[in-house]
Chains A and B, each alone.
Chain A
Amino acid sequence: MEYLLLIISAILVNNFVLSRFLGICPFLGVSKKISTALGMSGAVIFVIAIASAVTWCLQKYLLEPFGLEKFLQTLSFILVIAALVQLIDLVMKRFAPPLHAALGIFLPLITTNCAVLGVAVLNMKEGYGFIKSVLFGTSAAVGFAFALLIFTGLREKIERADPPRCFRGVAISLVTAGLLSLAFMGFSGLVK
């Protein structure tokens, strides 16, 4: 039950994009076509799941024993996540070429995705254990994918509509993102 609540909370109530406002850059950047949005979502889920496991180990076995978690957390997390993404890229290219062909171009983009760092830092702030960290990370990423796909669907429709000239392009996209965020506020209260 506790885990179920965690999952629902991460996907719907505290959605990373729409209520914590993390990962806005890919949310606006790769939301023009469903196919690219799907690739990005897959890559984000994959990377966040691995990154939350690795950063948890880093925190527990390296930073905390030496009393460094207070001031070196952010910096070392960024460093390790960036290296990790590059490593995943290499491993994927070698052992899973089809997967690399589908997700490859999004991996370098994710290096600088604040949602990944956000998950890692939140895991530590909330004091989650290993399994909970990975679970929270994965569900947060699924929430990100969910929001991204909804938004992409809306944008594809808007692309074909005929809004007033001053609203065309980014302006109407931002308004849409705002309304979508408001809609997700409706989930608050579902989980405390």
Chain B
Amino acid sequence: MDPIILQSTLWIGGIGLFSAVALAVADKYLSIPEDPRVGSVLALLPGINCGGCGYAGCADYARGIVLHGAEGNLCAPGGAACAHAIASFLGVAPVEVEKRTALVLCCGDDTETIRRSAYNGINECAAAQATAGGDKGCTYGCLGYGTCARICPVSAITVANGLARVDKSLCIACGKCIPACPRKIIKFVPAAATVHVLCCSKDKGPAVKKVCGTGCIACRMCTKVADGAINMDGFLAVVDYSKPLTSEKPIEVCPTHCIRKA
């Protein structure tokens, strides 16, 4: 065999072997043993690293549960099944989890509302809001520049006609969109609830009417048919999700159609 080939092979093999031995030795003496339960809990989590639990990712949350005693029910995408699996693995009583979904509490799209100025700045809700309080006539409603849609890790939010909407079947309730909205109109609601007041305007009826065809005008019709599940907060009807509301009466009686199924 050509000596150069042999020599090269031996040298590279030698350097490789030396590095491998050095790494093996270093690994033996430097490695930190990790609690094996961390790996098991990690295997029970969905592994999508959405950060909805408040930890830096699924591995960090698994470490939090095992080493720092974090609650096992913080994983929204995993839901009840995941919480139960973790609880039974750790041998503690499972904590009930209610499935939630994010909801944009506004239904005034561009056909129903007016824009009081022509905004053509940065395509970002916070920027639009910072420019003289936003271009939408209603100072409470969705601006529709899609900050929430861009931050959503599962693309559950779409913006159509100047209004963001959450697709309930896709939402994993990670909660990233909630602080992203400069008008704070995205809220968590129970996924089982079907009747919602899609308006956040606390203005009086005539003021709402002026800027939006489908805002809450505080007529109180819905409160009379909702058995206490819809209450007035000033000039805005608010659904109390702790009370059962299955009747679709409020949807029928609302004159501006801001109570909708979602």
A interface residue numbers (CB < 8 A to B): 62, 66, 68, 71-72, 75-76, 79-80, 82-83, 86-87, 90-91, 93-94, 160-162
Contact = CB atoms under 8 A, between A and B. Distances in A.
B23 interface: yes
Chain B: number of interface residues, binned into ranges: 20 to 34
B122 interface: yes
Interface stretch (B27-35, B192-200, B214-222): B27-35
Contacts of A62: 15
Contacts of A76: 11-12, 15
A91 B26 contact: yes
Contacts of A72: 8, 11-12
B39 interface: no
Contacts of A91: 26, 30
B127 interface: yes
B46 interface: no
22 contacts: A62-B15, A68-B7, A68-B11, A71-B4, A72-B8, A75-B8, A75-B12, A80-B19, A82-B19, A83-B19, A83-B23, A87-B22, A87-B23, A90-B30, A90-B31, A91-B26, A91-B30, A93-B31, A93-B32, A94-B31, A161-B123, A162-B123
B124 interface: yes
Nearest to A75: B12
B23 A161 contact: no
A6 B30 CA distance: 37
Given A68-B11, A76-B11, A94 B30 contact: yes
Contacts of A161: 122-123
Contacts of B11: 66, 68, 72, 76
A160 B125 CA distance: 10
Nearest to A82: B19
B127 A80 contact: no
Nearest to B26: A90
Given A80-B19, A160-B124, 12 more contacts: A76-B12, A76-B15, A79-B15, A82-B19, A83-B19, A87-B23, A87-B26, A90-B23, A93-B30, A94-B30, A160-B123, A162-B123
Interface in B1-25: 4, 7-8, 11-12, 15-16, 19-20, 22-23
B12 A79 contact: yes
A42 B32 CA distance: 24
Contacts of A79: 12, 15-16, 19
A145 B101 CA distance: 41
Given A68-B11, A160-B123, A90 B27 contact: yes
